[in-house]
Structure 1
Amino acid sequence: MYNQQVNLPILKNNGIRLYIKREDQIHPFVSGNKFRKLKYNLAMAKTKGYDCLLTFGGAFSNHIAATAYAGYEQGFKTIGLIRGEELCGKDDNPTMNFAKSHGMELAFVDRVQYRDKDSESFLKELEEKFGKFYVIPEGGTNGHAVRGCEEILQDQDADFHYICVAVGTGGTISGLINSLQDDQQVLGFPALRGDFLKSEIRKFATNNRWKLIDKYHFGGYAKINRQLVEFINAFKCDTGIPLDPVYTGKMIYGIMDLVENGYFKGPCKILAIHTGGLQGIEGMNQVLKRKKLPLLT
């Protein structure tokens, strides 16, 4: 994917060259890191003779939407286990409607049961109900996903000092870490609270040239406020680049705040990975409307 330079006065004044790798443009419906994570998982499912994929996610999950379309495109039946029984029967959720329109069967589980989704007993219950399936973890992260994310960085990216990426389940950042040049560092911007991510990343990462900057989650996963909405809208107006409110919006906000506070010493060249997720804007605007906050444009 191509790298788009961000031309803003604050960057120039600090000797910073910021580029965004437009992974959101990789596919119209399976965009960004979801395309990378699903690539080798779907290839493995085919190799093993599966015709059904089962995965997990929340009501506005980018992963649910991407898996539904990728399965539809490649001839798989798909099943999505959705967190929250109260969502059953809802017909105003754009992500779930998209998934259903591309053949995904949705099943809803309560939040307590959902926490046991990776247990052998729960998976056995699901197999008894749905038959044989290939499991793709929540968020898509496993060894096959990391392998796909190792392909994000290309030869043209070798001269960047920092690679920045939003972090959800740890798969994308792990792939980036594994494909770094010796003089590069990855900065991860977690979209949710908690220290568990470091141990998840260490399961896959092959070096220690990475750091998590955990003060830009805005209160937790999918949390958003007026300040973040206004930043995302202004950034799109100034650069033409849309950001999603769960991941890339928070990452870019964090990068710009770090620039303003002198974290990066110029001259410096930064590559930020746009991991997609724009499908979630419609659903987030429903939330913002209920909260009487400005909408994402």
Structure 2
Amino acid sequence: MFDDVADPDSLCPRLPSPLQEVAEPAFARHGVRLLLKRDDLIHPALPGNKWRKLAPNLRAAAEAGRRTLLTFGGAYSNHLRATAAAGRLLGYRTIGVVRGEELAAAPLNPSLARCAADGMRLHFIDRGTYRRAGSPQVLSALRDRFGDCYVIPEGGSNALAAQGAAELGEELRGEADVAAVACGTGGTLAGLAAGLGARGRAVGIAVLKGGSPHFLGETVAGLQRAAFGDRRGDWRVEARFTCGGYARTTPELDSFVAAFEQRHGMALERVYVAKLLLGLTELAAEGAFAPGATVAAVVTGTP
């Protein structure tokens, strides 16, 4: 391990993250309690599922003697931002492989500008190549270009990430009948469901348009097999609440966010958390949760 690469625990994460009960009319009408699992408060630079998924990968990189992290994301990727921040705070060099070669000629948006300010080297590739980012050919070309890197997949979702997210489920055991999280790449849901154990139920609210519940479910199951040896826990994926796709919105979502923020004085992250809460609200209205049940929604990021 490199002496000048710090352990993630040196950042003093706030664990377990707090649970906050909120009075939401749609849940109260059906006799259901809503808790917010405030993973956004774990660390100001590495909030939520980003901490839980990145920390075990950072330890593995250090143990393998790798001080350069290479990972993947879109133009507004929270994962890229978190990886860049981790590099700045802990002494890793970071490379972000960004989907969309055309973005290289455009001014950086605020998300990518933050990555660059934290020292991340941005490398833009065309969308076709990006879809094959996990292939040996693409990874070999990237290693030829950037040297010996520790590679973290898109969204940070791999077996180590699922194992890290299992701690989230363990923290919610006995606190909630149902625990729900927004899903992009599925790593947090894989760990959450495993950590909840036999008595808990997990729901993943997909935020990407075009992916079927079956496809994302197979991804989650694959991550669980890699991390734990087999499928774990009682979980399912809901794909009805993407609101047009990743980082997109609808008038319904905008109205929901405005009303929630006014009631609770809490700003909602739009890409993941707002869709999670909208989806859970609609599920509650449909009677998906039994009267007397407690539902915990995992707040995975900050606005």
Question: Normalized against structure 1, the TM-score is what?
Answer: 0.90
Q: Does the CA contact (< 8 Å) of 1:190 and 1:214 recur in 2? A: yes
Does the 8 Å contact 1:158/1:181 carry over to 2?
no
Matched with 1:236 is: 261
Report whether the alignment pairs 1:212 with 2:237. Answer: yes
Say if 2:122 is the partner of 1:103: no
The one-character-per-residue Cα deviations of 1:13-36 (angstroms, maximum 9, x if unpaired) are 221110010001111121110111
Q: Cα offset for 1:247?
A: 1.1
Alpha-carbon separation, structure 2, partners of 1:203 and 1:108:
28
Secondary structure of 1:149's match? helix
Secondary structure of 2:169's counterpart equals coil
2:110 to 49, 70, 94: 94
Of residues 247, 252, 264, the one that matches 1:227 is: 252
Q: What displacement does 1:155 show?
A: 4.8
Q: Which amino acid aligns with 1:40?
A: P
In structure 2, C-alpha distance between the alignment counterparts of 1:20 and 1:157, rounded to whole Å? 14
Q: Is 108-117 or 157-166 further displaced after alignment?
A: 157-166
Quick check: 204-213 or 171-180, which moved more? 204-213
Shift in CA distance, 66/57, structure 1 to aligned 2, threshold 3 Å = same
User: Which residue matches 1:127?
Assistant: 143
Change (3 A) 1:96 1:155: closer
- The equivalent residue for 2:3 is none
Specify every segment of 5 or more residues in structure 1 that has no aligned partner in the other structure, as ranges.
279-297
Q: For residues 23 and 159 of structure 1, what CA distance do their matches in structure 2 show?
A: 15
For 2:132 and 2:290, the matched residues in 1 are separated by: 45
Identify the match of residue 253 of structure 1 among 266, 278, 281: 278
User: 1:129-148 residue pairs with structure 2 within 5 A?
Assistant: 129-148=145-164
Letter of the 2:49 counterpart: N
Match of 1:194 in 2: 211
- Partner amino acid for 2:46? V
Equivalence map 1:71-82=2 (5 Å): 71-82=87-98
Gaps of 5+ in 2: 1-16, 225-230
1:167-206 map, 5 Å: 167-192=183-208, 193-195=210-212, 196-205=215-224, 206=231
RMSD between superposed Cα atoms in Å: 1.4
- The one-letter amino acid of 2:219's match is E
Identity of aligned residues (%): 39
The corresponding residue for 1:266 is: 291
Q: Deviations over 1:224-255 (max 9, x none)?
A: 11221221122111112322222111110011
Q: What letter corresponds to residue 200 of structure 1 in structure 2? A: T
SS of the residue aligned with 2:274?
A: helix
Cα deviation code 1:103-146 (max 9, x no counterpart): 10001111111111111111111111111100000000001101
Task: Give the distance between the partners of 1:246 and 1:108, measured in 2 at CA.
Answer: 22
The match for 1:43 is 59
Q: Which moved more, 1:146-155 or 1:38-47?
A: 146-155
The CA distance in 2 between the partners of 1:125 and 1:202, in whole Å, is: 29
Secondary structure, aligned partner of 1:88:
helix
Alignment partner of 1:150 is 2:169: no
| Aligned twin of 1:284 | none
**What one-letter code is carried by the residue in structure 2 that aligns with 1:194?**
G
One-letter identity of the residue aligned with 2:205: F
- Render the CA deviation track for 1:186-221: whole Å, top value 9, x for unaligned: 011111131221111111333251111211111222
SS of equivalent to 1:207? coil
- Equivalent positions of 1:7-26 (< 5 A) are 7-26=23-42
1:62 and 1:277 in contact (8 A); partners too: no
Provide, for residues 24-71 of structure 1, a one-character-per-residue CA deviation record: whole Å limited to 9, x for no partner.
Answer: 111112111011110010000000001100001010100000000001
Contact 2:187 2:220 in 1 (8 A): yes
| Range moving further from structure 2, 98-107 or 262-271 | 262-271
**CA displacement at 1:153 relative to structure 2:** 3.0
- Helix, strand or coil at the partner of 1:49: coil
State the one-letter code of the partner of 1:201: V
The residue that corresponds to 1:4 in the other structure is 20
The letter for the 1-side match of 2:276 is M
